[in-house]
Amino acid sequence: MRTILTVLGAAVVVGLLAFVGSPSAASAAEVFTATLNIKCADRVTVRAQLESDFEEVVVGLGITIDEQIVFELWLSPDGSSWTFILTDTEGITCMAGNGKDWQQLDQTILRMLKPKGDPT
């Protein structure tokens, strides 16, 4: 869970501190996540709660380049609620964010947001 807390802590301090992954940075991450009241549990428990309490399903995911953490976006069918979770290699899942009124961007808007000259 130390890895997942390090990632969450780094996300909080981006722009404030340079994250270097040292033990002291991990301790700072733990302080930040405790301050933000981030909830963690085993993935099975988190998944069951998202499915039953919020009727959310996973709609997207990604794996960090070092293959240590899976990021998932869960969304209710009508977009009224969303949850962003991270799961480490030990199966510990932490909620990184949640909210309401998810808005899916139209492909036209996404193309407008690309930098000029970006071929993708």
Averaged pLDDT score across all residues of the chain? 74
Q: Supply the pLDDT for residue 113.
A: 72
Domain positions in the chain: 1-38, 39-114
- In order, the DSSP letters of 85-120 are EEEETTSEEEEEEEEE---PPPHHHHHHHSPTT---
Q: Supply the pLDDT for residue 48.
A: 94
Pairwise CA distance, residues 55 & 106, whole Å? 24
41-64 mean pLDDT: 93
Tokens, residue 86 = 């991270």
pLDDT digits 0-9 by tens, 95-106: 988 899 888 777
